[in-house]
Amino acid sequence: MIEVENLTKRYGPKTAVDGLTFTVEPGAVTGFLGPNGAGKSTTMRMLVGLDTPSWGTAKVNGRPYREHRAPLQEIGVLLEARAVHPGRSARDHLLALGATHGIGARRVDEVLDTVGLTEVARKRVGNFSLGMGQRLGIAVALLGDPHTVVLDEPVNGLDPDGIKWIRHLLKDLAAEGRTVFVSSHLMSEMALTAEHLVVVGRGRLIADIPVADLIASAKRGVHVRSPRTTELVAALRGDGVRITSVGGGVVDVVGLSSEDIGTRALEAGIPLYELTPQQASLEEAYTELTRDAVEYQGTTASLGEVA
């Protein structure tokens, strides 16, 4: 379990993390989301003692990281996969780490097999591709067979098969009763992997919510098709109702349920050929939730404006 309470980190006048409080429970994959600069990496670094909080606490399995006698067996972490001496082989890197906790070659070979690096285990890490380096970083996180796993952007550099593999790995770890905490900018992957989300923006907690509840909260409206859309629009208008014409006798209605639309159309004698509630994607729900928390925003130029 991960317990974060009033966690705050300041760098001079800049507040990177601002009073975060949340709990990550075992037995489920919890996604950690937020725009660039939201404080996710800083939070993870404080969790494992790489940064010292200005105040507040971050505990792993009931204790701060530094108080665990065998931290690799409590929490496995991937923060920077390329933090490996390039001249060392993958196997030697894991053996060196394992030696600090009495973890031997047998376990090293097990995790190399788990992440699919057995065939290149004795090759220099400096020659690894981005995806191979990422797999090695995940092997490091799994080395101590930890109760808690924290991964920062684990799918970076992985091909489609690798992304599918990490998805199943994370679910399997959670099914074993472990705490799994994962940050990612790939909303489509989070929708397939995570059951719960912690969302931050500008260093503050925005939401601590099940994935299904966040998606359900996004307003996507109802897709309606009728041969008499002009009359239908008049029958549906009201406070809080937004209607957009799609063309071809189709309108999208936000602010009314499909039941309300069907009832009003029936009362007005207007036939409906289609009445389909539209479910938002996680990406759409996340974008709506974090709209005011995006710190770094670019602009999009039209083709005619590009020199």
Tell me: the pLDDT tens digits for 168-178?
Answer: 999 999 999 99
Domain co-membership, 70 together with 156: yes
Domain co-membership, 197 together with 259: no
Considering the domain boundaries, does residue 303 fall inside one? no
Domain co-membership, 160 together with 69: yes
How far, CA to CA in Å, does 71 sit from each of 27, 46, 139, 159, 267? 20, 14, 15, 31, 67
Considering the domain boundaries, does residue 241 fall inside one? yes
Considering the domain boundaries, does residue 200 fall inside one? yes
> Which of 169, 197, 216 is the endpoint of a domain?
216
Domain co-membership, 184 together with 231: no
Find, among 90, 94, 97, 96, the residue nearest to 121 by Cα.
90
Residue 256 is part of which domain span? 221-278
Domain co-membership, 56 together with 161: yes
Considering the domain boundaries, does residue 98 fall inside one? no
Considering the domain boundaries, does residue 183 fall inside one? yes
Domain co-membership, 153 together with 69: yes
Domain co-membership, 183 together with 244: no
Q: How many separate helices (H) and strands (E) can be counted in the chain?
A: 10, 13
Q: Across residues 9-27, what is the average pLDDT?
A: 96
CATH classification at residue 251: 3.30.70
Domain co-membership, 57 together with 165: yes
Confidence category of residue 278, pLDDT binned at 50, 70, 90: confident
Considering the domain boundaries, does residue 42 fall inside one? yes
Q: Across residues 103-120, what is the average pLDDT?
A: 97
CATH classification at residue 33: 3.40.50.300
Considering the domain boundaries, does residue 237 fall inside one? yes
Considering the domain boundaries, does residue 79 fall inside one? no
- The answer to whether 295 and 36 are in contact (CB under 8 A) is yes
- Predicted local confidence at residue 60, as pLDDT: 96
Domain co-membership, 270 together with 168: no
Q: Across residues 12-29, what is the average pLDDT?
A: 96
Report percent pLDDT > 70 for the chain.
95
- The answer to whether 61 and 144 are in contact (CB under 8 A) is no
Pair of tokens at residue 220: 């996507």
Question: Given a cut of 60, is residue 307 above it in pLDDT?
Answer: no
Domain co-membership, 11 together with 60: yes
Q: At what angle do helices 258-267 and 229-236 cross, to 10 degrees?
A: 110
